[in-house]
Chain A
């Protein structure tokens, strides 16, 4: 197996008013290709912050250690490479779905693909992209909801749209932050089944959760306590 992501001695401090609050203290984690890793921890332990750093949404402190994606250091990414990394290399799934309310299911799911398309390419690849997104949404059980707005969907359906959106650009790694945290147990199981299907198909998966029974679905579990991976 090859290492896809490797974070060593990552530090992240937030400033709250006049007080510096260290959230991550020399946290290290390595993610192998094709692996499903669950990051466990209590509220405020720094697990979501670690996920944001792994996904290039945030940057560590100036004295933080590197986060390697293959042979690239995320700290040295240019703004353009950083955008490309978020768009192509990783996919995000959030606890609160974070869908755009003005767009319908199909448009929300194809949003990352649209971000990477020029107007010319859009006109050329429109049909193919629509077909690909429809197929993906169908596999997520949303074939009958394509033109619906997020406000017309249930929580489980919204999370399925969010997963489809995260997968549309075929990322190498999916980062899920409490993907079932806002769902009832049965719906949550359905979402985990969907993620498991994707993992079985070869997707690398990093999932943050505070629930040990959900973390048990992963191949490997790491725990984060007081900003350190233990």
Chain B
């Protein structure tokens, strides 16, 4: 019964165990924060990527997939699929109504997606990605009062879903980062800017439009003449993936088909002619889409869905080729499509991040060893300090195992206290990572600068007082305190804010701030285990100590 009493007393009545527990806490917090951010980053890549493309993506080249409506109907008839949506993926030029100088117009190379909003919403939650919409209660609670989304005048959900403005004009939805004046605020929102050259540089409300230029490509690979069209900007979207938000423009599918000549067209004979000399129409080439995004049914894996989609396409092509009405076009259709799961499609994005995370996990696992070494060094000092106590305990009948257990228990308690404190510290930091980042990105507030300057003055006063009393300890301690506070004060005065997490470098506009509880649990167990390991050698040394030698120890 003496072991718990002594272990608890040793823990609470000395400064050394507090230092050991602090060291363990810092090591544990470091590992958890790094791995949590990396895991959150990976999860955001995966989640954001998935919500944009559904579970499975079927694609063909720029010439598109003919009879895609039939293909979608066949997919939606599959028990493995819930919904499918056609998309045309292409590149284009986007001209803004403003630019950096007077009269200049921003011109951007963009990735254009022709979409059907309703079906895309069923597959990839398109509605949730529209930025200018009335926030739901949960989102509204997290927004600052100045956030324009709280103003009903900025609700453009209906326009975003129909891709038309209130005048019935066709519209596009831009990625939130495309507009050069759409600068993210530290809280993650996008505020309306003041007008530049008398034009409001944010498109909401949609007072001005943009011009989109696309170039059609023929079946033989030759370029057609460029097609220009003016669109109203009906909304903006935020996927959370910076590269997408800075490059992608969503436009109505039928208009993009038209501009790229992927809309329905007559097929004419090269040998037969009408009486007026025009080639005879022998059929109709259906509209085409380059991509079909598909959502899996509940409980169906993307791999199973991809397999079913491949089979459905093969069946469809067979049927179309056997139907005289469709055979002409069907024989030009490819035998197979590229059907990929969302993970395969995002492999180039996810793969490196996964490797980075594992690398980080491995590198930071060395911190465990540092933690064990720290505990070992501290325990060695504790055992040295407690040598006489060990002799006393042996003299009153304590067994070697009892002595071993005191110090193992001591290590266990330090590991437990340190690890729990480390998890709590990590949780506090991770949960407020974006706020901390926002604070780093802003100049230090005046009150904080004043407080630190006053602290510097107080520290100098204490230093002088210590010197006058000829106390070496006070002089040394207050010299260090003055130096540290002076460095902090200078840093705060000079600090004008810097963004560590640059969204133009990283993919996301916000730092992932979800604690990875699996990592937290394993790190906590690791922290405790390594503390016990660090304590084991000094504990065994203590147990083996000769009681007579210990009692003579000074």
Contact = CB atoms under 8 A, between A and B. Distances in A.
A197 B38 CA distance: 73
A122 interface: yes
Interface in A126-146: none
A84 B5 CA distance: 20
Going nearest first, the 4 A-B pairs with the smallest beta carbon separation are A87-B397, A102-B9, A122-B1, A114-B2
Interface stretch (B116-124, B330-338, B385-393): B385-393
Interface in A87-141: 87-88, 92, 94, 98-100, 102-103, 107, 111-112, 114-119, 121-122
A102 B389 CA distance: 10
A57 B389 contact: no
Given A57-B548, A98-B391, A102-B13, A88 B397 contact: yes
22 contacts: A52-B548, A58-B546, A79-B399, A83-B397, A83-B398, A84-B397, A86-B394, A86-B396, A86-B397, A87-B397, A92-B395, A98-B395, A102-B6, A103-B5, A103-B6, A107-B5, A112-B397, A115-B393, A115-B397, A117-B1, A122-B1, A165-B396
Interface string B385-428: 00011011111111110100000000000000000000000000
Contacts of B13: 102
Contacts of B9: 102-103
**Main DSSP-derived SS at the B contact region:** helix
**Main DSSP-derived SS at the A contact region:** helix
A12 to B, nearest CB: 10
B397 A116 contact: yes
A112 B394 CA distance: 10
B547 interface: yes
B154 interface: no
Contact of B551 (A79, A85, A94, A107): A94
A83 B399 contact: yes
A79 B402 CA distance: 12
A114 B1 contact: yes
Contact of A79 (B2, B6, B388, B400): B400
A80 interface: yes
B397 A57 contact: no
A107 B398 CA distance: 15
Contacts of B1: 114, 117-119, 121-122
A93 to B, nearest CB: 10
Contacts of B546: 58
Interface of A: 52, 55, 57-58, 79-80, 83-88, 92, 94, 98-100, 102-103, 107, 111-112, 114-119, 121-122, 165
B364 interface: no
B10 interface: yes
A122 B393 CA distance: 18
A79 B397 CA distance: 10
Contacts of A121: 1
Contacts of B5: 103, 107, 114
B79 to A, nearest CB: 61
Interface residues of B, number: 25
Interface string B530-554: 0000000000000000111001000
Nearest to A102: B9
Given A83-B399, A84-B397, 14 more contacts: A55-B395, A57-B394, A79-B400, A85-B397, A86-B395, A86-B397, A98-B388, A98-B392, A98-B395, A102-B10, A103-B9, A111-B396, A115-B2, A118-B1
A99 B388 CA distance: 9
Contacts of A107: 5
Nearest to B395: A92
Contact of B396 (A52, A87, A118, A122): A87
Contacts of A100: 6, 389, 392
A165 B392 CA distance: 11
A117 B1 CA distance: 6
A55 B394 CA distance: 11
Contacts of A114: 1-2, 5
Contacts of B389: 100
Of the candidates B395, B398, B399, B400, the one having the most CB atoms from chain A within 10 angstroms of its own CB is: B395
A116 B3 CA distance: 11
Nearest to A112: B396
Contacts of B391: 98
Contacts of B392: 98-100
A3 to B, nearest CB: 23
Contacts of B396: 86-87, 92, 111-112, 115, 165
A22 to B, nearest CB: 16
Contacts of A85: 397
Contacts of A80: 399
B8 to A, nearest CB: 9
Interface in B1-44: 1-2, 4-6, 9-10, 13
B245 to A, nearest CB: 60
A30 B2 CA distance: 34
A85 B399 CA distance: 11
B270 to A, nearest CB: 98
B384 to A, nearest CB: 15
B115 to A, nearest CB: 69
Contact of A115 (B388, B398, B551): B398
Of the candidates B2, B9, B402, the one having the most CB atoms from chain A within 10 angstroms of its own CB is: B2
Contacts of B547: 57-58
Contacts of A86: 394-397
A118 B402 CA distance: 11
A63 B10 CA distance: 41
B406 to A, nearest CB: 11
Contacts of A88: 397
A79 B6 CA distance: 22
A114 B397 CA distance: 10
B548 A115 contact: no
A108 to B, nearest CB: 9
A102 B2 CA distance: 12
A57 B397 CA distance: 9
A52 B391 CA distance: 12
A57 B402 CA distance: 16
A209 B84 CA distance: 99
Contacts of A118: 1
A57 B6 contact: no
Interface in B496-554: 546-548, 551
